[in-house]
Amino acid sequence: MREKIISVKDLSYNVENTEILKFINFDIYKNDFVGIIGPNGAGKSTLIKILVGEIKNYIGSVNINGKIGYVPQKDEFDRTFPIRAFEVALMGMYNEVGVFKRYKKKHYEKVRNIMKMLDIEYLYNRNVGKLSGGEYQRLSLARALVSDPDILILDEPEAGVDSNAQKIIYSILEDLNKKGMTIILVSHDISMVLKKVNTVMCLNKTLHCHKNSIDMTSDDLKKIYSEELELLVHIDKPLKVVSRND
């Protein structure tokens, strides 16, 4: 039987009498590659913040059975703070090392290896304030990966990243998934999500569908995007979705 790694039951979240998330139920299994899609304001980042423990005053139950690595949508880290790229990546091991202990050679080596894997070793000694958006995004991924997470959660990692860097990120995610990591990816790139992930969650305040990506239909997408998207759906796979602004 597949091992359940995340279990969410009857989850709701309100802010000042406004429903942000409503009665959400789902399970995620070890080694799933889950895509979360939904329009702006659908509650995707809120759901992620609940999973990673940043938001605690929700209603319902959330069970997580593993260590989470998190790449936030917009990093609140102050980039004017004079700190170098490798030091940002080291922060990912903060829990392991603790406040008063020192980082050891093995920690620095790990950071370097992961930066190498992400093709950003050349940034190792750079000041973070000087990094481009795409470079910084990959550095955030490095910081999430140095803790050896069981579950990697990424909130729109493709935002502000050029297509080449996107390809690098997605191929790394596929690779990590093949090696056994559970991945949860929030993205507005629907065609890419449908191509890469095995499970899709359609969220718009409530969960409209949670199913295998090959079983997704244009109706599933219409339910959450309604007028926002013009859907070009071919009878034969692959399903192709084109935004009206494209």
Ligand X SMILES: Nc1ncnc2c1ncn2[C@@H]1O[C@H](COP(=O)(O)OP(=O)(O)OP(=O)(O)O)[C@@H](O)[C@H]1O
Binding site for ligand X (CB under 6 A): 15, 20, 38, 40-46, 73
- CB of 48 or CB of 197, closer to ligand X: 48
Look at residue 46 and give the partner it binds from ligand X, Mg ion, none, a contact being a CB closer than 5 to 8 Å depending on partner kind: ligand X
Q: Is 140 in the site for Mg ion (CB under 5 A)?
A: no
Stretch that binds Mg ion, among 3-11, 66-74, 103-111, 141-149 (CB under 5 A): 66-74
35 binds, among Mg ion, ligand X, none (CB under 5 to 8 A by kind): none
Reduce the secondary structure of the chain to three states and give it as a string.
CCCEEEEEEEEEEEECCEEEEEEEEEEEECCCEEEEECCCCCCHHHHHHHHHCCCCCCEEEEEECCCEEEECCCCCCCCCCCCEHHHHHHHHHHHHHCCCCCCCHHHHHHHHHHHHHCCCHHHCCCEHHHCCHHHHHHHHHHHHHCCCCCEEEEECCCCCCCHHHHHHHHHHHHHHHHCCCEEEEECCCHHHHHHHCCEEEEEECEEEEEEEHHHCCHHHHHHHHHHHEECCCCCCCCCCCEECCC
**Binders of Mg ion among 163-182, rule CB under 5 A?**
none
Q: Which of 28, 45, 93, 107 binds Mg ion (CB under 5 A)?
A: 45
Closer residue to Mg ion, CB minimum distance, 133 or 238:
133
Q: Between residues 6 and 120, which has the closer beta carbon with respect to ligand X?
A: 6
- Cα–Cα distance between 88 and 100 in angstroms, integer? 17
CB of 67 to ligand X, least distance (A): 23
Q: Which of ligand X, Mg ion, none does 40 bind, CB closer than 5 to 8 A by kind?
A: ligand X
CB 86 within 8 A of CB 125: yes
Which of ligand X, Mg ion, none has residue 140 at its interface (CB below 5 to 8 Å by kind)? Answer: none
Q: In angstroms, what is the minimal distance from the CB of 73 to Mg ion? A: 5
Q: Which does 144 bind (CB under 5 to 8 A by kind): ligand X, Mg ion, none?
A: none
**Distance between CA 17 and CA 20 in Å, rounded?**
9
Q: How far is the CB of 48 from Mg ion (least distance, A)?
A: 8
Question: CB of 113: closest distance to ligand X in angstroms?
Answer: 32
Q: Site residues (CB under 5 A) for Mg ion? A: 44-45, 73
